[in-house]
Structure 1
Amino acid sequence: MTENSPLRRGWTTGTCATAATRAAFEALVTGRFPDPVAVTLPGGGRPAFALATAERGDGFARAGVIKDAGDDPDVTHGALIVATVRPAAAGAGVMFRAGEGVGTVTRAGLPLPPGEPAINPVPRAMIRAAVAEVCAATGAAGDVTVEIAVPGGDALARKTLNPRLGIVGGLSILGTTGIVMPFSCAAWIHSIHRGIDVARAAGLDHVAGATGSTSEAAIAALDRLPEIALIDMGDFVGGLLKYLRVHPVDRVTVAGGFAKMTKLSQGLLDLHSRAGAVDLGHLARLAAEAGAPPALAERIAVANTALDALEQTRAAGLDIAAVVADRAVATAARVLQGSPVGVDVAVFDRAGGLLARTPVVRS
């Protein structure tokens, strides 16, 4: 890939599971594996996939597809997605089972009830549609058990949010469009929403969204929050707050380092560098509000980093972090306007030490 070439799209685990199921079911019915095998995406596209494995036995057929996530750094890129299809009782329809490396839902609040294999609703619909296509072409009955497996998926799942969401034993089979968009924000925001759903279903009244692992550990210890209350929001504070506005809890704490909370104090809801840098002029004005003399404010306006500005103000005995926190919570409260959610902001240093914290604000 050249520097200016577009990033390559990939395929979700749901699409790969659908392709594997389609191939296995067709082999179960006809004795032949289609290779490549085509499937229909929710948006109408129809990609085809080469089979990595194909096996028939007494009362079953099994096929596997290697997941290609394109240029996205997806944890499941290169994983083998396997579908084993077996006949089911007449009238059963399509039933789903979790095989090796596919998780099981254990907590309420997710799109599937506890006890169900973590094969999400859209992939289930895609798999049912693929089975129906084969039935229409062959006259077969569509009463089958579909077991989806991802060998090694349990280890991969430990790198995801599944354990925190109460999905045990492996990965989730995911996808809403069937396509992986490289470096998409959608997957992260989706996980934020599911984390809130799980916390609400568990009856929690206080959740915390943190920008990183240091601030998450710090706020968890400070407020004695259980893991289920901790939302890994990363840079997507807007995604957290906007979802809470419609799906409220009593209180949310926004926790992060000084630079990230400075961006929130500027009014930014995406705290990534691509969305905007720390405005040192803004920090200089806040320093002046905190009592900085003009000479110090001028130095802050040309500081090397937000950390440099923080250290200069602290050396002068000024609490600029408190001013940043106050402005940051005002930004967050505006997003939550009209909802019953109270919000506070906690600002931490790089070692997890508390620099400033606001009272809870309710709009």
Structure 2
Amino acid sequence: MIEDGKDLRRGWTTGACAAAAAKAAVSALVSGEFPDPVAVTLPGGQRPAFALAAQEKGEGFARATVIKDAGDDPDVTHGAAISATVRHREPGSGIAYRAGPGVGTITRPGLPLPPGEPAINPVPRRMIAEAIREATGSEDFEVEISVANGARLAERTLNPRLGILGGISILGTTGIVIPFSCSAWIHSIWRGIDVARAAGLTHVLGATGNASEKAGQALHGLDDIALIDMGDFVGGMLKYLRKHPVEKVTVAGGVAKMTKLAQGMLDVHSKRGLADLEALTALARQGGADEALAGEIAAANTVAHAFALAQAAGFDLGALVAARAWRTAAKALDHPGIALEILVFDRDGALRGRCGFAPAAHSDRP
């Protein structure tokens, strides 16, 4: 992959690392020898080999550790020590998965696994099972996955909000980390929606950042479980909600990101492009701004500056941005059974624009 002229290196998911550690440990439990490196088969057929960082064999158990290499992706688990401890089970009993230190436990419904289960996702479980079968021809083992400092790492993820407590999740649908793909974030958005729906909530709020989230939560009095850490992925949230609806959806964000949404961008990250001040000027003119204010907006340093100029002139630029952002979001949501709302906040959490709830059929509003 190329990013800003640099060749980016791919890495391995926690699921792939856990499968490699489990295969090495079970091999040692059965044969007495740890394979190093140890190769595993990924869902796409690739067979990477992993070096072992640590190995231990004791009475009735074997343990192997792999260090996660996320390549050039800014992954919070890059460099984490992922260990698998395996023990024999009764013949015919199959695999039992356990959450060791640093791996979370699911406490809320709506996730791919029920409450009480260790947060080792379905695809990593299949990878682990296949790796163990490849090494032993059997599945009759207890597999405990642990992650050094996993509880601390989990504080930098969405796990606490999703009700995954005590550590990180073992994730990955391909085994491969693609740099800057943000797939983990997108999947966390989806899981947040699943958890909210399973809890019976009828209103969720997706926010681009902390200030808009807190302000939107206070405005509506929402529980934490209703808050979706949408970040820049407005489209990713709305398209999932189209197929997994709730009655009411609020999209909240700062003035710059909501201006980008108003201009048709469903990924509002700064790397995808800046808000267009010329387009914002044209919108202000359409809304009745005089030429003096239009000129000031066109010459503004930033969107926030443009909003300040409009506010000083007594012109409600936020309402225009919110209405146009609603149209973009409604087109992506495209579900008349869902009432959509847009909230625009400044960096201090003050409401600067609002387009109230209406069915998300994008032709409903001018």
Q: What is the TM-score when the length of structure 1 is the normalising length?
A: 0.96
Tell me, yes or no, if the aligned pair for 1:248 and 1:339 is still in contact at 8 Å. Answer: no
> Counterpart of 1:39?
40
CA distance in 2, matches of 1:279, 1:211: 19
> Counterpart of 1:326?
323
**1:265 paired to 2:262:** yes
CA distance in 1, matches of 2:70, 2:27: 25
Tell me, yes or no, if the aligned pair for 1:287 and 1:313 is still in contact at 8 Å. Answer: no
Residue-pair matches, total: 359
CA distance in 1, matches of 2:352, 2:310: 12
Q: Which among 147, 150, 153 is matched to residue 150 of structure 2? A: 153
The letter for the 2-side match of 1:312 is L
Q: What is the TM-score when the length of structure 2 is the normalising length?
A: 0.96
Structural mapping, 1:349-360, within 5 Å: 349-360=346-357
Tell me, yes or no, if the aligned pair for 1:218 and 1:352 is still in contact at 8 Å. Answer: yes
> Counterpart of 1:220?
217
CA distance in 1, matches of 2:311, 2:282: 15
In the TM superposition, what whole-angstrom CA distance separates every residue of 1:15-74 from its partner, at most 9, and x where no partner exists?
Answer: 110000000000011000001101111111111111111111111111001111111111
CA distance in 2, matches of 1:280, 1:180: 36
Tell me, yes or no, if the aligned pair for 1:333 and 1:361 is still in contact at 8 Å. Answer: no
**CA offset at residue 311 of structure 1?**
1.3
**CA offset at residue 142 of structure 1?**
2.5
In the TM superposition, what whole-angstrom CA distance separates every residue of 1:216-274 from its partner, at most 9, and x where no partner exists?
Answer: 01111111111100001111000011000000000000000111111111111111122
CA distance in 2, matches of 1:114, 1:145: 19
CA distance in 1, matches of 2:305, 2:287: 16
CA distance in 1, matches of 2:254, 2:132: 50
Structural mapping, 1:1-363, within 5 Å: 4-136=5-137, 141-362=138-359, 363=361
CA distance in 2, matches of 1:162, 1:262: 30
Percent of pairs with identical residues: 64
CA distance in 2, matches of 1:310, 1:271: 18
Q: Which runs of 5+ in 1 are unaligned?
A: none
Tell me, yes or no, if the aligned pair for 2:257 and 2:268 is still in contact at 8 Å. Answer: yes
The letter for the 1-side match of 2:155 is R
Tell me, yes or no, if the aligned pair for 1:63 and 1:82 is still in contact at 8 Å. Answer: yes
Tell me, yes or no, if the aligned pair for 1:246 and 1:339 is still in contact at 8 Å. Answer: no
Moved more, 312-321 or 335-344: 335-344
**Structure 1 runs (4+) greater than 3 angstroms displaced:** 1-5
Q: Which runs of 5+ in 2 are unaligned?
A: 362-366
Change (3 A) 1:200 1:324: same
CA distance in 1, matches of 2:278, 2:96: 60
